[in-house]
Every structure is written in structure tokens, then in C-alpha cells.
């Protein structure tokens, strides 16, 4: 039991490092969802995945009458994290700009990486993290250099968190 818990804590630590790298990139770029948010999303995905493993094992004791569907667990994780990501998306009335799409996509992707870590697919998780990091860090520079100014429709998505969120009405 203790060794299993150490193995799970190793997964949590790996998720912290991988999600933290993506969160650091977002934070260093001045985006709204940064280091803490990405780490928590990655850790939550690992923990939900592990809880799913525990449930699958415990339901086996009941025989074939009760089943656990891991796909439903992944679907629930995606739904929850997508709800969090949706809160990052802003549309300014009277403007064609939509802000926060990349941040929302990054949060969902961080959760997927966390699920991979939870399933002990470390190489795939690390490789995916590297690819996502490159996309977040360098694709916008490519868009600006080769596709025109930052005002092109493609790069409006990347300007996402330069927005100033409206103050709450109090």
C-alpha cells in the first residue's frame, strides 16, 4: 500500500513538473492562467485518473453485475476542465476579437497530459509537453513573421490575455 502511494506521489510530482513548464510559459508570456493554474489542473487530472483506477479495482470484487467505465471518467475530467477553460474565454461586444481561446485550450491540454501521467505514460506525456511548449512559445512568432501582423485573424487568438478584464459591478 505504501509503495503504491509513493508511486502515485511520483506521478503527481511528474505532473507538477510537466504542467508547471506549460504554466511557466503562459505566465512568462503574461497570460491569465499561469503556473499555479496549470499545475493544479495537471495534478487534478492525475488524481482523478488514480481514483478511477482504484474504483475499477474495487468494482471487480462485485463481479460482472457492476462495471466501471474508464471512458466515462475521462469524459468527466474533460467536461470539468473544459468548464474551467470556458471561463477564460472573453468576447468583446462590438469587436470581432475573441480572447482566451489559447489559454482555454492549454488548460484542457494540460489535463490530458495529467491523465497520461496518471496512466504512467511518462514518455508520451513528456513528449506532448515539449510539443505544446513549442506551440505556445514559438508559433505566435511564426504567425507574426510569416503571416503578417499580429492583427491577422490567426494571431488574434494568441493576443488572448492582453485583454483587461472588466471590473465586477459592485
Instruction: Give the per-residue pLDDT at 163.
Output: 43
Would 63 be classed as within a structural domain?
Answer: yes
Instruction: Measure the CA–CA gap between 110 and 45, rounded to whole angstroms.
Output: 8
In angstroms, the first-to-last Cα distance of the chain is 51
In the predicted structure, residue 165 carries a pLDDT above the cut 70: no
Would 39 be classed as within a structural domain?
Answer: yes
Would 102 be classed as within a structural domain?
Answer: yes
Sign (positive or negative) of CA dihedral 164, 165, 169, 170: negative
Domain of residue 59 covers 2-162
Model confidence at 161, pLDDT cuts 50, 70, 90, reads very low
Judged on CB neighbours under 10 Å (0-12, 13-18, 19+), 151 is exposed
Would 96 be classed as within a structural domain?
Answer: yes
- Ranked by mean pLDDT, the top range of 47-61, 75-89, 94-108, 115-129 is 115-129
Degrees to nearest 5, angle at CA 159 with 154 and 165: 135
List pLDDT tens digits, range 114-143: 999 999 999 999 999 999 999 999 988 888
Would 168 be classed as within a structural domain?
Answer: no
| Strand partners for 98 | 91
Question: Residue 30: CA atoms inside 13 Å, Cβ hemisphere, count?
Answer: 7
CB 111 within 8 A of CB 44: yes
Choose among 33, 152, 144, 164: nearest CA to 92: 164
In the predicted structure, residue 85 carries a pLDDT above the cut 70: yes
Choose among 15, 14, 32, 29: nearest CA to 109: 15
Would 170 be classed as within a structural domain?
Answer: no
Instruction: Measure the CA–CA gap between 113 and 118, rounded to whole angstroms.
Output: 9
Which one has a higher pLDDT value, 163 or 82?
A: 82
Would 169 be classed as within a structural domain?
Answer: no
Would 134 be classed as within a structural domain?
Answer: yes
Q: Which helix (H) or strand (E) holds 90?
A: strand 90-91
Domain count along the chain: 1
Amino acid at each position: 500500500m505504501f509503495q503504491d502511494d509513493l508511486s502515485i506521489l511520483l506521478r503527481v510530482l511528474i505532473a507538477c513538473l510537466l504542467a508547471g513548464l506549460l504554466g511557466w510559459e503562459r505566465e512568462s508570456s503574461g497570460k491569465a492562467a499561469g503556473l499555479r493554474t496549470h499545475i493544479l489542473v495537471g495534478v487534478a487530472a492525475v488524481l482523478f485518473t488514480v481514483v478511477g483506477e482504484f474504483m475499477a479495482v474495487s468494482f471487480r470484487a462485485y463481479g460482472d453485475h457492476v462495471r466501471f467505465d474508464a471512458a466515462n471518467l475521462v469524459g468527466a475530467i474533460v467536461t470539468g476542465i473544459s468548464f474551467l477553460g470556458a471561463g477564460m474565454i472573453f468576447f468583446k461586444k462590438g469587436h470581432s476579437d475573441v480572447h482566451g481561446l489559447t489559454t482555454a485550450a492549454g488548460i484542457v491540454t494540460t489535463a490530458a497530459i495529467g491523465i497520461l501521467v496518471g496512466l504512467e505514460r511518462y514518455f508520451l506525456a513528456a513528449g506532448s509537453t515539449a510539443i505544446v511548449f513549442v506551440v505556445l512559445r514559438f508559433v505566435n512568432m511564426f504567425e507574426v513573421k510569416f503571416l503578417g501582423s499580429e492583427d491577422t485573424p490567426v494571431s488574434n487568438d494568441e493576443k488572448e490575455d492582453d485583454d483587461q478584464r472588466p471590473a465586477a459591478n459592485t
